[in-house]
Structure 1
Amino acid sequence: MTAMIALGLASRSILSIDVDDGSVRTILSRDGAYCPDGVAVVGDTVYWTTMGKPAIRPDVEGEAKYDYSAADGGLHAIGLDGSGRRDLLPSGTIVTGKQLVSDGTRLYWGDREGRRVSSCRPDGSDVADLIVNPAEPDRMAECVGVAVADGYLYWTQKGPSKGGRGRIFRAGLAVPDGQPPESRTDVELLWDSLPEPIDLAVADGHLYWTDRGAEPNGNTLNRALLPMVGQPGAEPEILARGLQEAIGLAVDAAAGVVYVSDLGGTIRAVALDGTGDRVVVDLGEKVTGVALT
Structure 2
Amino acid sequence: MFQALLVLNPASNRIARIDLTDASVTTVVSDVGPVPDGIVYDETARRIYWTNMGAPDFDPALPLDDNNYDFSPKNGSIESVALDGTDRRQVLPVGALTTGKQLDADFVAGQLYWSDREGRRVSRADVDGTELTDLVVNPATGDKAEECVGIAVDPAGNALYWTQKGPAKGGRGRIFRANLVMPEGQTAAARTDIEVLWDHLPEPIDLWLDTTNGYLYWTDRGAEPAGNTLNRAPIPARGEPGGDPEILARGFAEAIGLTVDLEAGLAYVADLGGSVRAVALDGTSDSVIAKFEGQSLTGIVGVQ
Confirm or deny a common fold (TM above 0.5).
Answer: yes
1:49 corresponds in structure 2 to 51
Q: Cα RMSD over matched residues? A: 1.2
Q: 1:52-71 residue pairs with structure 2 within 5 A? A: 52-60=54-62, 62-71=65-74
Residues 1:38 and 2:7 aligned together: no
1:163 corresponds in structure 2 to 170
2:184 corresponds in structure 1 to 177
- SS class of match (2:54): coil
1:6 corresponds in structure 2 to 7
Deviations 1:21-50 (A, max 9, x none): 22112111123x200000000131000000
Residues 1:195 and 2:198 aligned together: no
- SS class of match (1:123): coil
- SS class of match (2:146): coil
Report the CA distance between 1:235 and its aligned residue: 0.2
1:16 corresponds in structure 2 to 17
Code of the residue aligned with 1:165 in structure 2: it is R
- SS class of match (2:66): helix
Gaps of 5+ in 2: none
Residues 1:91 and 2:94 aligned together: yes
2:148 corresponds in structure 1 to 143
Is the contact between residue 4 and residue 16 of structure 1 (CA under 8 Å) also seen in structure 2? yes
For residues 28 and 102 of structure 2, the distance between their equivalents in structure 1, rounded to whole angstroms, comes to 19
Q: Percent identity?
A: 54
For residues 160 and 60 of structure 1, the distance between their equivalents in structure 2, rounded to whole angstroms, comes to 19
Report the CA distance between 1:136 and its aligned residue: 2.9
Deviations 1:143-197 (A, max 9, x none): 0000011220000000000000000000010111110100111000000000000
For residues 64 and 213 of structure 1, the distance between their equivalents in structure 2, rounded to whole angstroms, comes to 13
1:240 corresponds in structure 2 to 249
**TM-score, reference length from structure 2:** 0.94
Residues 1:118 and 2:119 aligned together: no
Gaps of 5+ in 1: none
- SS class of match (1:234): coil
Is the contact between residue 21 and residue 280 of structure 1 (CA under 8 Å) also seen in structure 2? no
For residues 119 and 45 of structure 1, the distance between their equivalents in structure 2, rounded to whole angstroms, comes to 18
Report the CA distance between 1:283 and its aligned residue: 1.7
1:76 corresponds in structure 2 to 79
- SS class of match (1:140): helix
Residues 1:265 and 2:277 aligned together: no
- SS class of match (1:185): coil
Deviations 1:259-289 (A, max 9, x none): 0000000000000001121111002210000
Is the contact between residue 265 and residue 287 of structure 1 (CA under 8 Å) also seen in structure 2? yes
For residues 11 and 86 of structure 1, the distance between their equivalents in structure 2, rounded to whole angstroms, comes to 20
For residues 78 and 231 of structure 2, the distance between their equivalents in structure 1, rounded to whole angstroms, comes to 28
2:133 corresponds in structure 1 to 128
Greater Cα shift, 86-95 or 154-163 = 86-95
For residues 113 and 98 of structure 1, the distance between their equivalents in structure 2, rounded to whole angstroms, comes to 10
Is the contact between residue 63 and residue 161 of structure 1 (CA under 8 Å) also seen in structure 2? no
Code of the residue aligned with 1:30 in structure 2: it is D
Give the one of 224, 227, 241 matched to 2:233: 224
**TM-score, reference length from structure 1:** 0.97
Code of the residue aligned with 2:180 in structure 1: it is L
Code of the residue aligned with 1:252 in structure 2: it is D
For residues 185 and 70 of structure 2, the distance between their equivalents in structure 1, rounded to whole angstroms, comes to 35
Is the contact between residue 7 and residue 15 of structure 1 (CA under 8 Å) also seen in structure 2? yes
- SS class of match (1:143): coil
Report the CA distance between 1:60 and its aligned residue: 4.5
Is the contact between residue 58 and residue 65 of structure 1 (CA under 8 Å) also seen in structure 2? no
Report the CA distance between 1:59 and its aligned residue: 4.6
For residues 117 and 59 of structure 2, the distance between their equivalents in structure 1, rounded to whole angstroms, comes to 18
Give the total of aligned pairs: 292
Greater Cα shift, 275-284 or 45-54 = 275-284
